A and B are shown apart, each in its own frame.
Chain A
């Protein structure tokens, strides 16, 4: 009865699931890493409020990374080995950053008073290091892990770009979850990070087709270009409208406070779609397609059955958690 779930469609489904997990991770942990980086600009009281906006969520947000990398591991084991060995050092530094950031959530309030400031800086430094290394890895991936200075220069630019994008989504999250002076500051942060994000997205969009003749062909061959035109057009329109909207923030009426965040999410989705279209059907650029890297169909099938049952449940209780902690963030307390 499941005959259509064969060696052709199963890898496709898993590539889609993995893409969704990575996109969810980039948006969700993106906002809390962004808030972490922006904490550099706050005093202790503001930092407490900023942490309170992400405290109940960060753990589940980070689980999407485990799912994304887990799907790469279990569904495309060959690609997992190739990609992670190529990214050995940046992965190690990203893990260092995520470790520092994750434990600092706890230590910054539980440690002895004189060390709490150190953990604040571990939080900020860890968030920054994780974001930069993730961007750097994205850059190396786009360049197809080629050797040479151009790859590393591009990867450095991508690192700065992704960090800016995370700061932007983090700032829009803060606009939604805070009010008063902090919200006012968040609006300021969101404006300049929006500009930085726009510059990076344009740079990546221009560089990607130039790196690979195949990607150039996919985008600019006729008639593809007509069908694809809406992606850059919508992205451009979104940037402009976010810019205009943020000029009018903060508003006295708080009903539209989450609009910038939704706009940021849409930007991430569009950017991600563009990248996904560029690289499909490759999972390791120009080296391995998703079918060449896939596990045995029997194993994929048994994972898929579980995923189909469990993913809706995960979605439901994630939504429930966001509902419980809806609205403006309040002081985090255990009692």
Chain B
């Protein structure tokens, strides 16, 4: 198999696994701060119990994010040595600022946030929670600056093929950065909202309906219901920004081969790159033109514009971008329907019903699917470029033999499969333990008097 494709699959597998966890922790940090502040202001124990349950989910998610993030910092060099050689002068400082302003902050204060409640004053614990949430968000900021720069590079000049920074302001605030950052932060908020709603609904189904569970459920549903329309709006802006800077990507998202007006919004199709047309097309006439150009006659770029005279394809592979985009949008619509319906139920009746609870449980990880699909759209949509117009993915690849990449890829896939299975099962296990789990002295815990952790955990409530 082609070593470049193997290297891409390996890096793609790792970065896909990694993003699952920051997507949760970025927003969950702020939700925890909300629980903590609500407790400080009202003194109502339900907020602190909600905090105690969700801080465990945070700790678990954070650990998985850290270890997969470390893997990534090595894979830049092992898989894409050409990346740093050619654009290292720009990528380097951005990554360095991420480590310096975000990683140390979150990692250090995480210890105090998790285990320091009895060791520092309450305000200090609240501050630690804030600094961890702030750190995760700063981390997202810097990495999205770099990622956006790879899509829409600005503020540099090329000397002998190597990029040199000329304007750091233009590099940081490159054309797609504000849209991508907002889109991703909202994706994190939605992923977290549905995780909270889903696990809380699971607890509700297990007859665990204490005030802390209901408070978390309401919080999750409310965040989802508020953020989803904002996300649809921001996603649309991001799409228009992409149309301006990366038209080939939009052409692939729409499955549009010829540049023309009255382009339909395709609900389904099988893009066929051999015939350069779609099979089994079902679409709404003029829909894509209307969305992208705000008029039926609006001209939408087609994929055939991005073919070199010698027949070399200069646009991304169409089918993965086309389908990933439809999965993302489909889940977004589902999120809108479910969160608004759940919000209406909670508002009218103050409670949810069994069918809705099961739907929420089913959508616990809907945010993951939507986020990954969205990333596949944008990253596969940038191919064949690694940095648009500057460096192709093939140029950055390493000389490591394909066999070695394949062997380590198999190892990574195996461990990631085990870890995802363990993560999901442990989340539901924690949720299933219900009230007993809330105040158990776990963490890397030592039970008092050397007794096993579990019996101590089971009796800790009310002690």
Contact = CB atoms under 8 A, between A and B. Distances in A.
Interface of A: 44-45, 48-49, 51-52, 55-57, 59-60, 62-63, 65-67, 69-75, 77-78, 80-85, 88-89, 91-92, 95-96, 98-100, 102-103, 105-113, 115, 295-296, 298-299, 302-303, 306-307, 310-311, 314, 317-318, 321, 324-325, 330-335
A306 B68 contact: no
B207 interface: no
A307 B453 contact: no
A332 B426 contact: no
A106 B165 CA distance: 42
Contact of A295 (B89, B100, B107): B89
B443 interface: yes
B201 interface: no
A106 B63 contact: yes
Given A81-B85, A332-B443, A60 B115 contact: no
A105 B444 contact: yes
Contact of B445 (A77, A80, A102, A109): A109
A314 to B, nearest CB: 5
A77 B90 CA distance: 12
B52 interface: yes
A88 B404 contact: yes
Contact of B165 (A69, A83, A302, A335): A302
Contacts of A45: 446-447, 450, 452
A298 B164 contact: yes
Contacts of A78: 85
A125 B388 CA distance: 42
Contacts of A55: 111, 114-115, 443-444
Interface residues of B, number: 82
B48 to A, nearest CB: 8
Given A62-B66, A107-B426, 14 more contacts: A66-B73, A80-B76, A80-B77, A81-B82, A82-B81, A89-B404, A102-B66, A295-B88, A302-B168, A331-B447, A332-B441, A332-B446, A333-B443, A335-B441
8 contacts: A77-B88, A81-B85, A84-B78, A99-B415, A106-B59, A110-B429, A111-B425, A325-B115
B37 interface: no
Given A84-B77, A334-B443, A73 B92 contact: yes
A8 B112 CA distance: 41
B194 interface: no
Contacts of A306: 93, 96-97, 100-101
B445 A111 contact: no
Nearest to A70: B99
A91 B114 CA distance: 30
A77 B118 contact: no
B115 A332 contact: yes
Nearest to B10: A92
B108 A334 contact: no
Contacts of A100: 415
A331 B404 contact: no
B152 to A, nearest CB: 20
A75 B96 CA distance: 9
Nearest to A126: B67
A310 B99 CA distance: 10
A111 B56 CA distance: 12
B21 to A, nearest CB: 10
A144 B426 CA distance: 45
A81 B398 contact: yes
Given A103-B63, A103-B64, A62 B73 contact: no
Nearest to B441: A333
B104 interface: yes
A56 B64 CA distance: 16
Contacts of A115: 422
A298 B93 CA distance: 10
Contacts of B85: 77-78, 81
Contact of A62 (B64, B70, B92, B118): B70
Main DSSP-derived SS at the A contact region: helix
A296 B448 CA distance: 56
B96 A70 contact: yes
Given A60-B108, A295-B89, A80 B84 contact: yes
Nearest to B77: A84
Nearest to A326: B119
B172 to A, nearest CB: 11
A69 B74 contact: yes
Contacts of B450: 45
A67 B62 CA distance: 18
B92 A85 contact: no
Nearest to A55: B444
A239 to B, nearest CB: 33
Contacts of A113: 454
Contacts of B164: 296, 298-299
A84 B62 CA distance: 26
B452 A44 contact: yes
Contacts of B110: 59-60
B111 A321 contact: yes
B430 interface: yes
B69 interface: yes
A110 B56 contact: yes
Given A45-B450, A84-B77, A59 B107 contact: yes
A92 B404 CA distance: 10
Contacts of B38: none
Nearest to A301: B93
Given A55-B444, A335-B52, A84 B107 contact: no
A80 B105 CA distance: 25
B399 interface: yes
B390 interface: no
A84 B399 CA distance: 11
B255 to A, nearest CB: 38
Contact of B107 (A60, A299, A310): A60
Q: What 8 A-B pairs are tightest by C-beta distance, nearest first?
A: A81-B81, A74-B92, A56-B111, A84-B77, A77-B84, A77-B88, A102-B67, A333-B441
Nearest to B106: A59
Contacts of B443: 55, 109, 332-334
A241 to B, nearest CB: 32
Contacts of A81: 77, 81-82, 84-85, 398
Interface centre among A82, A333, A334 (most CB of B within 10 A): A334
Contacts of B442: 109-110, 333-334
B109 A317 contact: yes
Given A66-B99, A103-B63, A307-B96, A335 B439 contact: yes
Nearest to B84: A77
B60 A110 contact: yes
Contacts of B108: 59-60, 314, 317-318, 321
Contacts of A314: 100, 104-105, 108
Contacts of A95: 70-71, 74
B372 interface: no
